[in-house]
Amino acid sequence: MAVLQEREIERVGGTRTIKVDVRIIAATNVDLKKAVAAQAFREDLYYRLNVLPISVPPLRERREDIPLLVDHFVRRYSHEFRKRMDGVAPDALAALQEYSWPGNVRELQNIIERTVALIEGPVIQLRDLSLDLMLPDRRMRARADETLRLREACRQFERQVVLRVLNRVGWNQSEAARLLGLHRNTLKWKLAKWNLRGPAPDR
């Protein structure tokens, strides 16, 4: 107690009091007021420590921090595992933000570490997160399903628009890319992904 109250210490086996100039930072996940009331924590120690309290809400109450933490951990573990990572897909990030995180930041860190270690592609996808574990709540799973359906609808719409423009310009990919506001290589990549080819030339 002397070190907190008087800023003094005495070495083990020593006889001389030594003045110290330190600041004590203590952290806990226990409600110390309740612990004091239950006589599970010394009241005098509580008031000596509780000079400038800083309350950090659980991760589920500050979901706006999740994208920043995810980005930090992805960068950290991609470097550690020597992998090239380009980030997290939007639906995967949405699932991470929906989760209640009972283990707070440490649980998020462990999830990202395991995912980066096991993933094969450069982007963390929703399927990489083990949704049965990540989304046990029916409401959350339903919301994730809605996100997947919306994403699929967007893909289908994009495909239809690209096909319409290509047919309009006679499958001239350079002209179609210009009209769509895409780089020609991006358009070629999309066509390959969709397994789309232009009409065979007349013989």
- pLDDT at site 109: 92
Helix (H/G/I), strand (E/B), else coil: 8: strand
Parse the chain into domains and list their residue ranges.
2-49, 59-136, 149-203
- pLDDT at site 71: 95
Strand-pairing partners, residue 123, are 87
CA–CA distance, 197 with 52 (Å, rounded to integer): 67
pLDDT digits 0-9 by tens, 80-131:
989 889 989 988 888 888 888 888 899 999 999 989 988 888 999 888 886 5
- pLDDT at site 53: 85
Give the list of residues 6+ apart from residue 157 with CB closer than 8 angstroms, or none: none
Which residues of the chain, if any, have pLDDT below 70?
1-2, 130-150, 200-203
Distances from the Cα of 38 to the Cαs of 45, 47, 126, in angstroms? 14, 15, 44
Q: Which two tokens stand for residue 17?
A: 């009091």
59-136 classified as CATH 2.60.40.10: no
- pLDDT at site 32: 87
- pLDDT at site 17: 84
**CATH top-level class for 149-203?**
mainly alpha
What is the reported pTM?
A: 0.52
- pLDDT at site 24: 83
- pLDDT at site 108: 92
- pLDDT at site 1: 61
